[in-house]
Structure 1
């Protein structure tokens, strides 16, 4: 199994332009919440526990994150729990509200992502490796930690492999 540094370095290689990273701070949360919203129907109560496809996807994702690293895994699990809660709230609304809110967030989130990749001058990471879809949210959380001055040893390990964050000189005027 790839390590945390392996996954984040591979993903970071597609995300070295700060404008692209900023776009991910908006786009990825919108996409994650949208998936939680859209997968929150149907819902079942089994043995007193609320269950939906969104919960199952979140549990599998949490397991992935927790296996990579406990600290980030716990944080990602909490964040996924908040997304599932919001998805559940929107799934309780009318079909029009549920579906339109989920689809709107999904489309807007991806549009923002593609604008960021325009600045980067590279395709999204998931095009070459589908694990980019699950690593993306973790990347955003790690980048936020780096911006807050946390996890500098992890940042340095990623930069050794992927390079430092810098404006893409080929897209600087874009």
Structure 2
């Protein structure tokens, strides 16, 4: 299994233009929230209805295990993101079917529009997941690292993943 730095470095190579990264800071959270919303139905009651199990809960639990295996502190950060996303998705899934679908699909499409605008207009390179599907999981982690770095945290990791990558604009 590749290391955290290897995964993020490979992803960073597809995201050298700061404008493309900016589109991802908007697009990726929209996609994650849309997936949370759309996969929060159906909900199966467990433990006599004390808890509902959804495809979103399973998906986010598996993703969180992957992140924790890469790096415990970032994995905990992604667990918070996963929990907040699942909570949001649960709220949207409780709405009428029409509203649930409109919000979920609308956010999903809007998020991908931001992604592709960033790659086609600014980066002029295909998205990372085209060459390695694991890029779909690394994208949210990359955004977390970018945001933490902007706050002065995990700067060493940020420098390491961008080493050898020329940042433009």
Q: Could you say which TM-score interval applies, normalised by the shorter chain?
A: over 0.9
Match for residue 137 of structure 2 among 134, 137, 141? 134
Match for residue 100 of structure 2 among 56, 76, 98? 98
Deviation at 1:49, TM superposition (A): 2.2
Q: Alpha carbon RMSD of aligned pairs, Å?
A: 0.9
Deviation at 1:164, TM superposition (A): 3.7
| SS state at 2:163 partner | helix
**Runs ≥4 in structure 1, deviation > 4 angstroms?**
none
| SS state at 1:45 partner | strand
Deviation at 1:146, TM superposition (A): 1.5
User: TM-score normalised to the size of structure 2?
Assistant: 0.96
Q: Note the residue ranges of structure 1 that are not aligned, 5 or more in a row.
A: 168-174
Output the CA distance in 1 between the equivalents of 2:36 and 2:161.
29
Output the CA distance in 2 between the equivalents of 1:60 and 1:123.
27
Match for residue 124 of structure 2 among 121, 124, 127? 121
Output the CA distance in 1 between the equivalents of 2:10 and 2:139.
11
Q: Note the residue ranges of structure 2 that are not aligned, 5 or more in a row.
A: none
User: TM-score normalised to the size of structure 1?
Assistant: 0.93
